[in-house]
Amino acid sequence: GAVVSQHPSRVICKSGTSVKIECRSLDFQATTMFWYRQFPKQSLMLMATSNEGSKATYEQGVEKDKFLINHASLTLSTLTVTSAHPEDSSFYICSAGRSATNEKLFFGSGTQLSVL
C-beta closer to other proteins: residue 87 or 101 = 101
DSSP 50-63: EETTS--EEPTT--
Give the CA dihedral 102, 103, 105, 106, nearest 10 degrees.
Answer: 160
Task: State the Cα–Cα distance between residues 48 and 25, nearest whole angstrom.
Answer: 17
Report in angstroms how near the CB of residue 37 gets to other proteins at its nearest. Answer: 12
Task: State the Cα–Cα distance between residues 55 and 71, nearest whole angstrom.
Answer: 8
Q: Helix, strand, or coil here: 38?
A: strand
C-beta closer to other proteins: residue 85 or 104 = 104
Strand partners of residue 106: 96
Binding mask 79-98 for other proteins (x = CB under 8 A): ------------x-x-x-xx
C-beta closer to other proteins: residue 45 or 68 = 45
Give the footprint of other proteins on residues 33-52 (CB under 8 A). 34, 42-46, 49
Using CB under 8 A, which of 18, 104, 114, 116 touches other proteins? 104
Give the footprint of other proteins on residues 12-31 (CB under 8 A). 31
